[in-house]
Chain A
């Protein structure tokens, strides 16, 4: 999206103002914002940020992905309108029911990641644990290659082979 003032740079600041029930939006770049005396707020809560992001894009195109099979969760009745309103989901099943819609949003919130890598409850099945361990090892492998630590990379590659 281009800045509405200079029409050159990419708009990184999105302002939504609702005054007397009339809603107006402004999309501008950082430089123009500084010139206009609009300071970028660095201390916004993540939930606010999320609902602002969703509210400023009524088309859903950018933030929400392809539509899912259901429009409301069969377990809790949650709909995507709820997410726009308060930034939270209705129940754990929503992540599955709305997985297409939620994917771009999840990736955006987590630097492009959409797969868990970290602690796994001890109670879950062995197969699931293996999956998580593989993800972690692959991540370590990428890191080792990035750091040109080829000895470590070879170790990790072997560990992955063994598990896979």
Chain B
């Protein structure tokens, strides 16, 4: 299997059909593990890294996961491919940027990935749509147990699994959920929620993890502490919080409908209008408008699309994905053009070409109506 095979069809976990899929886009569990008898990566020579990679790769590709697995070398991959893998949540940004021999093993349906030589020797990840933390932890535990039959992990009875950074020791588990919370953002109620979640020891981050902002009203909530509690305790606390945040989001949406019905419809309608008619769309504005469209779907204002279709677009409109489809590096404006074209095609089912040449005059309205294309795209409007 080649990397190009991934870009074309969408993975299971982002299909938006899991439990609580209206607000929980996906659930993810990551385990950090290191091999006994080796230094942590920051102290490893390239030879030692190669040795670790070879050992773990052999074990990982022989795992019986009920799905094809394939290995992808990250250190000699072009920046474009690495970027694509990051956008797809298959590797971390750290892994993409790190140095030395490293790679990733990916299950064809993308529910499982194993990064070798990221910050730790091994970082396992299981990803599922909707709120499925318990299912994720069950699956990753099974995989981890299969691996530990073949290798010796660095483990201390007192401190648990030993990791390069002391913040990951113990269980080595990082559980996170990706939440879509437009109601709370639009009602200006998101900050107290973030503060409250932080207070009980959970971290809130943006769409692509550490250091990213909450574009598209997507928030990742994850545990911080990994030592001193069982995996189950950590997971159930996070699940509890998801239920609470879901409740808050539901109420925020109800108030939004009661108090700001017109501006809500305007918000969704504008996003609909721009996304189906714009010729140039940058990443940030597209994410925010897709969020508005998803909100419209969640509130049953828009019926012609599903939340999962919007979630899919959230992935496909990213720079690395657009360039992967084009097969080459393209500049920002060309990307904006390709992004607008993709969204228009997906949302309206029609391909409408915009003028690619900048500086050339766009045809005027009269002209456009005459050629009929604009008229057609307007036909498929929603109930606004």
Binding site for B on A (CB under 8 A): 42-48, 50, 75-78, 82, 86-92, 95-96, 102, 105-106, 109-124, 128, 131-132, 136, 139
| Residue of A46, A76, A119, A122 touching B224 (CB-CB under 8 A) | A46
Q: How many whole Å from B161's CB to the nearest CB in chain A? A: 8
Q: Decide if B158 is an interface residue (CB 8 Å cutoff).
A: yes
- Given A118-B229, A124-B157, decide whether A43 and B206 contact each other with a Cβ distance below 8 A: yes
Q: Give the complex CA separation of A114 and B230 in angstroms.
A: 13
Residue from B34, B145, B157 having most chain A Cβ neighbours under 10 A: B157
List of 8 A-B pairs having minimum Cβ-Cβ separation, nearest first? A113-B228, A116-B160, A45-B210, A92-B154, A110-B227, A118-B171, A88-B164, A110-B225
Residues of B close to A112: CB separation below 8 A: 228
CA distance A132 to B231 in the complex (A): 13
A114 to B169 CA separation, bound complex (whole angstroms): 10
A88 touches B145 (CB 8 A): no
B residues contacting the other copy or chain, number (CB 8 A): 53
Whether A118 lies near B42 (C-beta < 8 A) is: no
- Alpha-carbon separation in the docked complex, A78 to B157 (Å): 22
Stretch binding the partner chain, chosen from B11-19, B197-205, B321-329, B374-382: B197-205
B125 within 8 A of A: no
A-B contact pairs, 6 of them (CB 8 A): A43-B213, A47-B167, A75-B39, A90-B42, A116-B228, A119-B141
CA separation between A82 and B42, bound complex, in Å?
10
Shortest CB-to-CB span from A133 to chain B, Å, is 11
Contact A109–B166 (Cβ < 8 Å): yes
In the complex formed, the residue of A with least CB distance to B160 is A116
Q: Report yes or no: B165 in contact with A78, Cβ–Cβ below 8 A.
A: no
Residues of B close to A111: CB separation below 8 A? 201, 225, 228
Chain A nearest CB from B149 CB (Å) reads 7
CA distance A50 to B347 in the complex (A): 45
Q: How far, in Å, is A41 (CB) from chain B's closest CB?
A: 9
Is B153 in the interface zone, CB < 8 Å from A? yes
- Let me know if B46 is at the binding interface, CB within 8 A: no
Give the chain A neighbours of B162 by CB distance below 8 A.
92, 95
**Main secondary structure on B side of the interface with A:** loop
Chain B residues with Cβ under 8 A from A88's Cβ? 40-42, 119, 164-165
Flag if A106 contacts B227 (CB, 8 Å). Answer: yes
Q: Once the chains are docked, how many angstroms separate the CA of A117 from the CA of B156?
A: 11
A91-B43, A110-B170, A122-B149 are contacts. A43–B230 as well, Cβ < 8 Å? no
Q: Which of A44, A87, A89 has the most CB of B within 10 A?
A: A89
Q: When chains A and B are docked, how far (Å) is the Cα of A96 from the Cα of B210?
A: 29
Given contacts A88-B164, A88-B165, A91-B40, contact A110 B228 (CB under 8 A): yes
User: A76, A92, A113, A119: which contacts B227 (Cβ < 8 A)?
Assistant: A113
**What CA separation (Å) do A86 and B194 show in the bound complex?**
28
Which residues of chain B are near A76, meaning CB under 8 Å?
39-40, 43
In chain B between 264 and 295, which residues have their CB closer than 8 angstroms to a CB of chain A?
A: none
Chain A nearest CB from B153 CB (Å) reads 6
Determine whether the beta carbon of A109 is less than 8 Å from that of B225. yes
Cβ of B148 < 8 Å from any Cβ of A?
Answer: yes
Q: Are the CB atoms of B171 and A116 closer together than 8 Å?
A: yes
A112's nearest neighbour on chain B, judged by CB, is B228
How far apart sit A138 and B56, CA to CA, in the bound complex (Å)?
35
Specify which of A113, A114, A115, A119 lies most central, judged by the most chain B CB atoms within 10 Å of its CB.
A119
Which residues of the other chain, B, contact A131 by a CB distance below 8 angstroms? 157
